[in-house]
Each structure stands twice: as C-alpha cells, then as structure tokens.
Structure 1
Amino acid sequence: MLIDTYGRVATDLRVSLTDRCNLRCTYCMPEEGLHWLAKPDLLTDDEIVRLVRIAVTRLGITEVRFTGGEPLLRPGLTGIVERLAALEPRPRMSLTTNGIGLARTAGALKAAGLDRVNVSLDTLRPDVFKTLTRRNRHHDVLAGLDAARAAGLTPVKVNSVLMPGLNDDEAPDLLSWAMAEGYELRFIEQMPLDAQHGWRRQSMITAGDILESLRTRFTLTPEASAERGSAPAERWIVDGGPHRVGVIGSVTRPFCAACDRTRLTADGQIRTCLFATEETDLRAALRSGTGAAGTGPDADGGTGPGSDEEIARIWRLAMWGKKAGSGLDDPAFLQPDRPMSAIGG
C-alpha cells in the first residue's frame, strides 16, 4: 500500500497527461500562456500505462483521474484509457476537463472504458466566460457536457470557481441550471496555484460565502448518510432532495487528515500534495534500466534499476514522507513553484 506516517492510505491516483491548455483562465495562467514541457520530458503513453499498472497492481490504487493542463489535448488519451481498462483489478477511471473537444471524444472515451467526467464551467454567461478564460468557447463547453451525458459518462460533475467581481453572483443560477440539466455541481475555492502568484486570501470567495449565496434561494441540509471521509467536497441536499451540491473548501475547510491521493505529473514526478514543494522523480527510475520507452527485460519483473519493484519502492518511500497537511493555515506558507496546470488537479 501507499501509506504515510499518519496512517493515511492513498487509493486515488491523479495523472497529469500534459501541462498544456487551450484556455487561459485568469486564476490559473497568464494570457500568453507558459513555457510548456518539452516532448522528451513528458512521459510516453507506454510509460504512463506502466506506472499506473504498477500503482494498481502493486500499490493498491483503485481510482485513477486523468488531468492536465487539459487532458483532451493528449493525442493518445483514448488508447491509454483502453489499455488501463484491461488491468486486473480494473481501476475506476475519470477525467477532469474544460470540456472543449469533449463533444467529439466522449463516445470514444466511454467505449474505451472511461467511467465519468468532471467538467470545469465557472459561468453561464458567455461574456463572463470570455473574460475569465480569454477565449470565446462557452458554447463548446456546453456541447461537451451534452455529449458526456449522452455517452453515459455519468454522473457528470461540473466544477465551478467563483471570482470576485466576475461571477461571484452566479452561485444560485449555476445550481439551478445544474439541477435542471441533471449535472452534479461542485464549487471549489480558488487555490494558491496560479502561475502569476496573484492569489490573495483576503479577496477569495470562501466556502462560507458560497453557502450564504446559495441559501438566498435554496434550503441546504448537510448530507448525513455518511461521514465526509476523504471526499474533498462537503455535500448538501438541496430543498429536501434528490439534488445535491458540493462545496470544496480546500483553503478554509481542508480535508488533509483523510487525504487518500497521490499525484503523477506529466513529466513523471510524484507529488504527495497539491501544495507540496518537493517531488520524487519516477521518470529517471523508469528510464534508468529500460530506456525512454519503458520497455526491456526488467520492465515486468526483477528488482534492479528500472524494475517494477524498484519503482514501487521509490513510490512507497515518497508517500511515507507525506506531510500532515497542506500548510495553507501556516503564516509562513509558500506557494509551490509549479502552477495548477503543471501539477494536475
């Protein structure tokens, strides 16, 4: 298992497939974009499949979430999903996407074995979307959501970030729309993971602000069916049910004590936390004994450099050193050098 010194066991793997994105959301990156990772630095499709196989068959991972950047920009995505769906045991697989391109890929991803999607949509107003993302693609996101629902990538979850002065008045409208469309809505506090390092605690829209806004139109009852556990969202029953809404308060209501995640970046680094300042290099270990393609005599056995067992050992050691929390409540908190687009959600 991937266990740490606080007794937490990681069963959820977030896999970043690329650091590139076709939007330029103001809370994520500058308008001109970033310096993208060079292709030789990225894990190949074979390397991703091998690392996830090791995680699933040797380390107890049961859930795999593909992230980016924008994961739909990864040319080999459908093939990766298909190969991982053949694993025994088979992990549950989901995708976090901005929805652009989902209209043409949802059916193929479902056929390949993807179970469901999370789609980011922060506003119902096309003009606000253009301001937030610096792209005029609102209609493409809506089309992607429709396609995901039609393909059976359910439950379709919608992630929304509220920004002061832009869309902070839209929480009730977003919830009303999501319920009408049959989507599960999650509001997420803006996190200090923007490339510009412009995040300010005093100006963010908090979970408390979001709940206060929602209660101007809806009656919210805390979901009492089970403890929150490792789930990032606190869930609320809306107007007596059956609809629910989630609020992820990563900053003001952290869930570190029950965290069950490990993260693999597009260039093969293990991160134990979104806000970690240290990484463990699996890419070097992967290629040390087997070459860049991740194939060779030690790929499926042995204990030498680049072997499955050696990679699993390095991964276990990285997770053993996981810190107790994100450190967001520490006055000395330092934002990670990597922005969200290079870490994966």
Structure 2
Amino acid sequence: MLLDTYGRTATDLRVSLTDRCNLRCVYCMPEEGLQWLAKPTLLTDDEIVRLVGVAVTRLGVTEVRFTGGEPLLRPGLTGLVERCAALEPRPRLSLTTNAIGLARLAPALGSAGLDRVNVSLDTLRPEVFHRLTRRDRHADVLDGLAAARAAGLTPVKVNTVLMPGVNDDEAPELLAWAIAEGYELRFIEQMPLDAQHGWKRESMVTAEDILRSLATRFTLTAEEDERRGSAPAERWTVDGGPHRVGVIASVTRPFCAACDRTRLTADGQVRSCLFAREETDLRGALRSGASDEEIAGIWRRAMWGKKAGSGLDAPDSFQQPARPMSSIGG
C-alpha cells in the first residue's frame, strides 16, 4: 500500500501523458506556450503501462486518471487505455480533457475501457472562451461533451474555473445548463499553478463567492461530510435533488487530511502532492533495469514522506511549485 506518516493511503493515481496542450488558458500558461518536455524524457507507452501495473498490482491503486497537458494529444491513447483496462485487478479509468478531439475519439475510448471523463469548460459564451483560452474552439468542446455522454463515459463531469471580471457572473447559467444537459458541474478555485506565477490570493473567486452566486437562483443543500470521503469536491443538492453541484476549494477549504492521490508526471516522476516541490524519479529506475518490486519500493518511500498539507493555508510561507499545472498533470 502507498501509506504516509499521517495515516493516509493513496489509491488514486493521476498519470500525465503529455505536457503539451492545444489551448493557452490564461490561468495556466502564456500565449506563446511553454518549452515542452523533450521526447526522449517522456515515458513510452510500455513504461506507462508497466508503472500503472505496478501501482495496481502491488500498491493498492484502484483508480487511474489520465491527464496532461491535454491527454488527447498523446498518440496511441486508445491503446494505452485498452492495455490498462486489461490489468488485474482492473482499475477504474478516467480522463481529464479539454474535449477538443473528443467527439472523434469518445466511441473508441469507451470501447477500449475508459469509464468516464472530466471536461474543462469555463464559459458558455464563445467570445469569453476565446478570451480565456486564446483559441476559437468552444463548439468543439460542446461537441466533445455530447459525444462523451453518447458513448456512455458517464457521469460526465464539467470542471469550471471562474475568473474575476471575465466569467465570474456565469455560475448560475452554467449550473442550469449542466442540469439540462445531464452533466455534473464542479467549480474549482483557481490555484497557484500557472507558469507565469501571476496568481493572487486576494483576487481569486472563492468557494463562498461561487455559492453566494448560485444561491441567487438555486436552493443548495450541503451533503453530509461522510458522503464526500476522499473526493476533493464538496457537494450540494440542487433544489432538493436529484442534481448536484460540487466546489473544489483547494485554497480556502483544503482537504489534505483525506487526500488519497499519487501523481506520475509525463517524464516519470512521482509527486506525492499537487503542490509538492520535491519529486522522485521512477523513469531512471525503469531504464536502469529495476524490478517491479524495486520500483514499488521507491514509490512507497516517496509517498511515505508526503507532507501533512499543501501549505496553501499558510500564505506567508507557501511556495509555488517550479512546475506549472500543465507539466504536473491535474
């Protein structure tokens, strides 16, 4: 098992497949993009499958989420999903994506064994989408969402970040749309993981701001804490149910005490926390001939040293990780 000194067990593995992305979201990276990881440093398909296999068969991982960058840009994604779905015991497989290209790939991914998707969408307005992402692909995202639903990749979850003065007035509209379409909406507080290091705590849209906005149109009833478990989203029943909305308040309501995640970057580094400033190299061990048990031991030691929290609740001492979100993986 992937235990740490605070009694937490990591059973949820996030696997970044690439640091590349076809959007340039203002809260993630600059307009010109970033210097991408060199191809020889990236894990191969065989290496990814082997590491996921070690996690599932030796370390107690039951959930695997493929992330990026944008994971749909990874060549051979469908084959990777199929190979990971064939592992015993079979992990539950999901994908976090911007959905550009998902309209084409959703049926094949579903057939390969993908269970569900999380789609990033911050606005229902094409002009605001262009302002936020610097790309004119809003219709492609909507098409991708519909294709995921049709392919049975459910529940389809929509992740939304609100930015002050840009889309922070859209919360009620987004929730009404998600309910009508049968998607599960989750608002995410903007986190200090942008490549530009331009995040400012005092200007972010908080969970309280979001709930206050939603309350102008909906009646929200908080679910009991025990139903949340290790899930990052606090959830509310909307207008008595059955629909729900979630808020992931990583900054103002940290949930570190219940965290069950371990992360693998596209270049083979284990991260015990999204905000960690340290990494442990598995790629080097793989390529130097380490056995599965040796790799598992390195992974266990990396997670054993996981810190109690992200540090976000101590603004005077918090230090942003050197890697941006696109390079870490969501």
Q: Where on the TM-score scale, by shorter chain, does this alignment land: which range?
A: over 0.9
Q: How far apart, in 2, do the equivalents of 1:259 and 1:184 lie? A: 21
What does residue 136 of structure 1 align with? Answer: 136
Verify: 1:310 aligned to 2:294, yes or no. yes
Within a 5 Å distance, the mapping from 1:130-279 to structure 2 comes to 130-224=130-224, 226-279=226-279
The residue identity in structure 1 corresponding to 2:306 is: K
The aligned counterpart of 2:40 is 40
Amino acid across the alignment from 2:79: G
Task: Report the equivalent of 1:303.
Answer: none
- The match for 2:49 is 49
- Three-state SS of the structure 2 residue aligned to 1:65 is strand
Alignment partner of 2:306 out of 322, 336, 341: 322
Q: CA shift at 1:226, angstroms?
A: 3.5
Structure 2 gaps of 5+ residues are: none
In structure 2, distance between residues paired with 1:203 and 1:227: 31
TM-score after normalising by structure 1? 0.95
Distance 1:246 1:139 in 2: 24
User: Equivalent residue for 2:324?
Assistant: 339
2:63 corresponds to which residue?
63
Cα distance, 1:225 vs. partner?
Answer: 8.0
Deviation at 1:329, TM superposition (A): 1.4
**Cα distance between partner residues in 1 of 2:268 and 2:225:** 38
Aligned length: 329
Q: Quote how far apart the aligned CAs of 1:96 are.
A: 0.2
In the alignment, is the contact (CA less than 8 A) between 2:97 and 2:117 conserved in 1?
A: yes
Question: Could you tell me how far apart the structure 2 residues matched to 1:316 and 1:76 are?
Answer: 29
Partner of 1:282: 282
Letter in 1 for 2:199: W
Q: Tell me how far apart the structure 2 counterparts of residues 10 and 2 of structure 1 sit (CA, whole Å).
A: 5
Deviation at 1:126, TM superposition (A): 0.1
* 1:297 corresponds to: none
Q: Distance in 2 between matches of 1:224 and 1:311?
A: 39
Distance 2:197 2:87 in 1: 40
Q: Which amino acid aligns with 2:178?
A: A
Name the SS for the 1:162 alignment partner. Answer: coil
Opposite residue 323 of structure 1, the aligned amino acid is: K
Q: Residues of 1 paired with 2:49 and 2:82: CA distance? A: 10
Question: Which amino acid letter does the alignment assign opposite residue 283 of structure 1?
Answer: R
Partners of 2:230 and 2:224 in 1: CA distance: 15
| Structure 1 runs, 4 residues or longer, greater than 6 Å off | none
Task: Calculate the aligned-residue CA RMSD, in Å.
Answer: 0.7
State the alpha-carbon separation in 2 of the partners of residues 279 and 226 from structure 1.
32
In 1, Cα distance between equivalents of 2:232 and 2:225: 16
Contact 2:254 2:313 in 1 (8 A): no
DSSP 3-state at the match of 2:312: coil
CA distance in 2, matches of 1:58, 1:145: 35
CA deviation after TM superposition for structure 1 residue 275, in Å: 0.3
1:280-311 deviation digits (Å, cap 9, x = unpaired): 0000001012xxxxxxxxxxxxxxxx100100
Note the residue ranges of structure 1 that are not aligned, 5 or more in a row. 290-305
Instruction: Give me the identity figure in percent.
Output: 84
1:117-173 per-residue CA deviation (whole Å, 9 max, x = no partner) reads 000000000000000000000000000000000000000000000000100000000
The alpha carbon displacement at 1:201 in A equals 0.1
Alignment of 1:14-93 (within 5 A): 14-93=14-93
AA of the residue aligned to 1:64 = V
AA partner of residue 66 (structure 1)? F
